[in-house]
Each structure stands twice: as structure tokens, then as C-alpha cells.
């Protein structure tokens, strides 16, 4: 690597640990949830031992995922609000997908798509947390009317499917932009990657160092 091809810190260690904790708990939640909800997928619960054990562990994994997301929320929320150029980024989505993001708008820490996905996941997870607590047998469900529990079970299932779609989209885009995954594994990205995809963030980062 040449002298100019340096790396810059993208994600701190606590954020990376929280991210992979969320990933692991999400996978276990998806496996147990799909196995418990769809009879044809009941075999998936065998990954966790048995349907009974999967039913017990499912809400536990949910709590772990929420705790991980709390860390990610406070580590990223300051950069998740709309900024100048976000609207232009959205209007030129086709050019962005073609790899011309740097020609569309000068992106900061996160682009408009990442911000929208961030708030979508936070919103869905908040609904999942509330509805999950209400339907949690045998601890909380007995305190609510049957109609409320049924409604919450429906909302919980719907939001779970939407969350699965959102996170898979997040994972796909992470692989789509070559070099992105490195930031969440090692915590650093190359300066050329940062300059191409997040030039304003790189300039701000280097300005702080100076």
C-alpha cells in the first residue's frame, strides 16, 4: 500500500461489537420466529434444540437485540438526521445504484438511504419490543385482554417480516459497496473508499485531526 493509501477509522470497537451482537441475535430471532409462526417451517426450531426451547429463547434474543440496538442508536443517531444533499441523493437513486454516488451529492457520515434504513429499523424494533412484551407468555400476556394480545401478535409478525426485509437489504448494500464490510469488521476503511462514498465525512474527519 502506498503512503497516500491510508486507512481511517470508520466504526469504534463498541459499535462493532454491538453491530455483530445485533446480527447474531437477529439471525436467531428470525430462525426461531419463522419456525414458531409457520407450521411448515417448524423444523427450523431444531437449530435451537426444540420448539419449546425456541419459544423460551425467542424473547430473550429479542432483549439482547434491543440492547445492541440501543448502543448503535446512541453511536449513530447524531449522523442520522437529514442534511443538505440528502434530497438530491434520493432523486438520483438510479445514478447511485450505478455507482455514481460521488457525482450526485457530497455525502457525509451516512447517505440518505442509510439514514432512512436506520430510522426504519429503529421504528420497527420499537414496535416489536412493545408488542413482544405484551404477547410474552406466561409473564405479561395474562395482564392484557385476549383481543389486545391477538392484535399485538399480528403487528409483531408483520413488523418482524418488514424488519427481516430491511436488514437483508442492509446486508445486500453492505456487500454491494465494495469495502463497506471492512469498516464493520476491522473498524477502518481506506481513504480512497471514504473519499469516493463519503467525501464530506472524510473532510470533516481530517479537519478534526488538524
Residue 67 is assigned to a structural domain of this protein: no
Q: In this structure, are residues 105 and 85 in contact, taking their beta carbons and an 8 Å threshold?
A: yes
**Is residue 209 included in any domain, yes or no?**
yes
Residues 190, 18: Cα–Cα separation, whole Å: 22
User: Considering the domain boundaries, does residue 193 fall inside one?
Assistant: yes
- Number of domains present in the structure of the chain: 1
121 located within any domain? no
Percent composition of the chain: helix, strand, coil (DSSP 3-state, to 5): 75, 5, 20
Exposure string for 144-163, b = 16+ CB within 10 A, e = fewer: eeeeebeebbebbbebbebb
Does pLDDT of 131 surpass 70?
yes
Q: Is the pLDDT of residue 200 over 80?
A: yes
Cβ(7)–Cβ(190) below 8 Å: yes
| Inside any domain, residue 124 | no
- What tens digit of pLDDT does each residue of 68-121 get? 999 999 999 999 998 888 888 888 777 777 666 767 778 889 988 899 999 999
pLDDT digits (tens, 9 = 90+) for 12-58: 999 999 999 999 999 999 999 999 888 888 898 888 888 889 999 99
Q: Domain range for residue 95?
A: 84-109+184-210
Active site residues: 170
Q: Is residue 49 part of a domain?
A: no
Domain membership of residue 160 (yes or no) is no
Quote the pTM value.
Answer: 0.87
- Residue 201, domain member (yes or no): yes
Query: Mean pLDDT over all residues of the chain?
Result: 88
Q: Is the peptide bond before 138 cis (omega within 30 degrees of 0)?
A: yes
What are the b/e assignments for 8-37, b being 16+ CB within 10 Å?
Answer: bebbeeebbebbebbbebbebbbbbbbbbe
Distance CA(40)–CA(143), nearest Å, equals 31
- The β-bridge partners of 8 are 189
Amino acid at each position: 500500500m502506498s503512503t497516500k493509501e491510508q486507512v481511517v477509522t470508520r466504526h469504534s470497537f463498541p459499535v462493532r461489537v454491538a453491530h455483530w451482537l445485533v446480527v447474531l441475535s437477529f439471525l436467531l430471532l428470525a430462525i426461531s420466529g419463522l419456525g414458531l409462526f409457520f407450521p411448515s417451517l417448524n423444523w427450523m426450531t431444531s437449530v435451537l434444540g426444540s420448539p419449546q426451547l425456541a419459544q423460551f429463547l425467542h424473547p430473550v434474543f429479542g432483549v439482547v437485540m434491543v440492547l445492541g440496538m440501543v448502543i448503535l442508536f446512541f453511536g449513530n443517531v447524531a449522523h442520522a438526521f437529514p442534511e443538505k444533499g440528502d434530497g438530491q441523493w434520493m432523486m438520483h437513486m438510479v445514478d447511485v445504484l450505478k455507482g455514481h454516488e460521488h457525482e450526485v451529492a457530497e455525502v457525509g457520515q451516512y447517505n440518505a438511504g442509510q439514514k432512512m434504513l436506520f430510522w426504519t429499523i429503529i421504528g420497527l424494533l420499537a414496535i416489536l419490543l412493545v408488542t413482544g412484551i405484551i404477547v410474552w407468555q406466561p409473564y405479561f400476556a395474562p395482564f392484557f385482554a385476549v383481543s389486545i394480545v391477538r392484535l399485538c401478535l399480528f403487528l409483531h409478525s408483520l413488523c418482524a417480516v418488514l424488519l427481516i426485509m430491511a436488514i437483508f437489504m442492509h446486508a445486500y448494500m453492505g456487500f454491494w459497496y465494495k469495502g463497506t464490510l471492512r469498516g464493520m469488521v476491522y473498524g477502518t476503511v481506506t481513504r480512497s473508499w471514504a473519499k469516493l462514498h463519503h467525501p464530506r465525512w472524510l473532510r470533516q474527519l481530517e479537519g478534526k485531526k488538524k
